[in-house]
Amino acid sequence: MLQERQLKGKGTCWTLRLWSAAVISILLLSTCFIMSCVVTYQFMMDHPNRRLYELHTYHSSLTCFSEGTMVSEKMWGCCPNHWKSFGSSCYFVSTTENFWSISEQNCIQMGAHLVVINTEAEQNFITQQLNESLPYFLGLSDPQGNGKWQWIDNTPFSQNVRFWHPHEPNLPEERCVAIVYWNPSKWGWNDVFCDHQHNSICEMKKIYL
């Protein structure tokens, strides 16, 4: 009987140890999971705040637009005041004439770059903001003058997305691009000299909150 009780006691003790180990493992895993969630949440919260902080050095205030209704979606897309919103970007039309390189630097100083046009809808939206009597620099150039056009943000230059005026580009010395209004073709791209002074268009990605 004594031996039997001792065996039962050992069995009970072993079972308790197994259960204790299991409970401790579950608690540890739960803690790790909770901590990972906290870290992920904190990163997600900090990321837009960093962008807001960075843009605050260039812009005093933002205008935000409701862009989603689902819980899983971003609810607000924000652009600096006086910038235009379209798709996932914000646009600013400069009324100051400068060389292409200086225009790009001015965009960079506002947390942006010269505009990169990817679709006809985007171009149509942009041209609605422009003065038909003025040319505007785009973020498109051919630095070597060999016909290898490239966008300022390294977006691949697609032959399917181009809006050149007829017979343009036409001179290898004209290594930058402006969007201009000509009759009868209306708005289109024209290769121009980079050291001529034109207005320009800046683009930045929206901030989502």
Mean pLDDT over each residue of the chain, to the nearest integer: 80
Q: For residue 72, what are its two tokens?
A: 């899983």
d(CA 202, CA 109): 11
| 106-114 average pLDDT score | 95
Taking every pair of C-alpha atoms in the chain, what is the biggest distance, in angstroms?
110
| 100-124 average pLDDT score | 96
Q: Is the pLDDT of residue 42 over 70?
A: no
| Signed CA dihedral, 86, 89, 206, 80: sign only | negative
Q: What is the pLDDT of residues 49-100, one digit of tens each?
A: 566 666 666 677 888 878 765 555 657 888 999 999 999 999 999 999 999 9
| Cβ proximity of 118 and 138 under 8 Å | no
Distance in angstroms between the alpha carbons of the first and the last residue of the chain? 72
Percent of the chain with pLDDT strictly greater than 90: 56
**Pairing mode, strands 136-141 and 176-182:** antiparallel
Instruction: Report the amino acid identity of residue 143.
Output: P
Closest listed residue to residue 182, CA positions, set 126, 119, 134: 134
Question: pTM of the predicted model, to two decimals?
Answer: 0.72
194/59: higher pLDDT: 194
Residues 6+ apart with CB under 8 A from 177: 137, 138, 140, 141, 149, 169, 189, 190, 191, 192
**Pairing mode, strands 89-98 and 84-86:** antiparallel
Count of beta carbons in the 10 Å neighbourhood of residue 115:
28
Q: Is the pLDDT of residue 4 over 80?
A: no
| Signed CA dihedral, 50, 55, 57, 62: sign only | negative
pLDDT category, 120, cuts 50, 70, 90?
very high
Count Cβ neighbours within 10 Å for each residue of 61-95 and write b for 16 or more, e otherwise.
ebeeeeeeeeeeeeeebbbbeebbbbeebbbbbbe
pLDDT at 202: 98
